[in-house]
Amino acid sequence: MIPIIKPSLDQREAEAASRVILSGWITQGAEVASFEREFAETVAAPHACAVSNCTTALHLTLLAAGVRAGDEVVTVSHSYIATANSIRYCGGVPVFVDIDPTTFNMDPNLVEAAITGRTRAILCVHQVGMPCDMAELKPIAQRHGLPLIEDAACAAGSEIFWNGRWERIGKPHGDAACFSFHPRKLVSTGDGGMITTRHKDWDKQFRLWRQHSMSVPDTVRHASNQVIFETYPELGFNYRMTDIQAAVGREQLKKLPGIIARRRELASRYSSLLTDVPGLITPVEPQWARSNWQSYCIRLPESCDQKQTMQILLDRGISTRRGIMCAHREAAYRQQPWRSPSKLEASERAQETAIILPLYHDLSMADQEYIAEQLRAVVLEGTPCEVSS
């Protein structure tokens, strides 16, 4: 079976974790601080704050942006459900705009019509690592005085052309960017997240909230020769990252350039292998974007049934995943407040027709050729050519 992904973990990560375990300090200590520093350097961000995952990163960032009960946040439904959920954790109402079907990202042309007096923030997503159009989105946010938050869960190492040069996602180009270190991502710590921001006061607030709003962190109290009693001036959360995770993340960061180079090579190879499969659409980078190819997401010909195609590939030893979900179609959103100023046709179409192909560092050329060959055969054989109900 060719899996959908394999994390690039080896002896280096195992030794880093073991070093921390034997050190006697295993949560949110020196390793987390070093990981934050190194991550900030990697993406050229002024501030980086580690948290327990990207969902908690989004929650804290929306709170810092001032999102509270009844406020609206303009975002996409076509994303992992955590994007919309994080708005609801603040009591906010997601306002879904449709996507540009070529990039699977928020269509900037639809954003302005979604903004009302109740809008508190714009939350865009760099979907599966493909940068969204920050050059279009930022002026809209600025015109309306709204914070622009980037869900960069999948985008560690992706780049955009900005002010005449290539810059990494996470600088950030909006007000803050949130990353995930789940095993499907390029940098993985098992679970984990990072918030980069341009605002010093937001960063300070994140550091309080992530540890129950404890006034004096345990690292400081531990190092002090005075007895210190901490206080809890406001409601906080346990959104800590452990030092074990951070040590793994530091090793992963060292590998990032190599991981990206390899994925770019594999993505470009897929595109040439699949170039003339009738009706099949391969992903393309806009001129101003460089994806880290966290996922290689193709669109099947209109006539092909997504589930049947995936089942045939599975029967032939190839694991795939359906394209990105749409939150508004899930039962968790049926009774909940959300709105959409226009139909979400491109989002729904993408959910129904896209599939993600295996892509990982040591995917062999032979396996990649086999995947392309089988996919071409399935499309040409036409067995699954009944449109799903």
Note the residues at the interface with ligand PLP (CB under 6 A). 53-55, 79-80, 82-83, 125, 151, 153-154, 180, 182, 193
- 316 vs 369: CA distance, rounded Å: 13
Give the CA distances from residue 379 to residues 171, 250, 260, 321, in Å, rounded to whole numbers and listed in that order. Answer: 41, 42, 29, 17
- The nearer residue to ligand PLP, 182 or 262, going by C-beta atoms, is 182
- The nearer residue to ligand PLP, 289 or 304, going by C-beta atoms, is 289
- Residue 82 CB, shortest distance to ligand PLP, in Å, is 4
- Residue 53 CB, shortest distance to ligand PLP, in Å, is 3
- Residue 312 CB, shortest distance to ligand PLP, in Å, is 26
- Taking each helix axis as running N to C, give the angle between helix 82-89 and helix 54-64, from 0 to 180 degrees, rounded to the nearest 10: 40
- Residue 298 CB, shortest distance to ligand PLP, in Å, is 18
- 317 vs 58: CA distance, rounded Å: 36
Number of separate helices (H) and strands (E) present in the chain: 12, 15
- 167 vs 159: CA distance, rounded Å: 5
Q: What is the DSSP letter of 56?
A: H
- The nearer residue to ligand PLP, 8 or 77, going by C-beta atoms, is 77
- Residue 95 CB, shortest distance to ligand PLP, in Å, is 17
Q: Interior CA angle at 260 toward 190 and 245, to 5°? A: 20
Compute CA 247 distance to the chain's CA centroid, rounded to the nearest angstrom: 21
Query: Which residues sit opposite 180 in a β-bridge?
Result: 193
- The nearer residue to ligand PLP, 173 or 182, going by C-beta atoms, is 182
- 94 vs 75: CA distance, rounded Å: 7
- The nearer residue to ligand PLP, 152 or 379, going by C-beta atoms, is 152
- Residue 104 CB, shortest distance to ligand PLP, in Å, is 11
Query: In sequence order, which residues have a C-beta less than 8 Å from that of residue 197 and are 6 or more positions away?
Result: 45, 46, 47, 49, 61, 64, 172, 175, 176, 177, 203, 206
Pairing, β 119-125 against β 148-151: parallel
- 357 vs 310: CA distance, rounded Å: 10
- Residue 65 CB, shortest distance to ligand PLP, in Å, is 16
- Residue 315 CB, shortest distance to ligand PLP, in Å, is 27
- Residue 80 CB, shortest distance to ligand PLP, in Å, is 4
The C-alpha torsion from 10 through 12 and 15 to 20, rounded to 10°, is -120
- The nearer residue to ligand PLP, 47 or 182, going by C-beta atoms, is 182
Query: In sequence order, which residues have a C-beta less than 8 Å from that of residue 179 and are 6 or more positions away?
Result: 39, 54, 57, 152, 153, 155, 156, 170, 185, 187, 193, 194, 195, 196
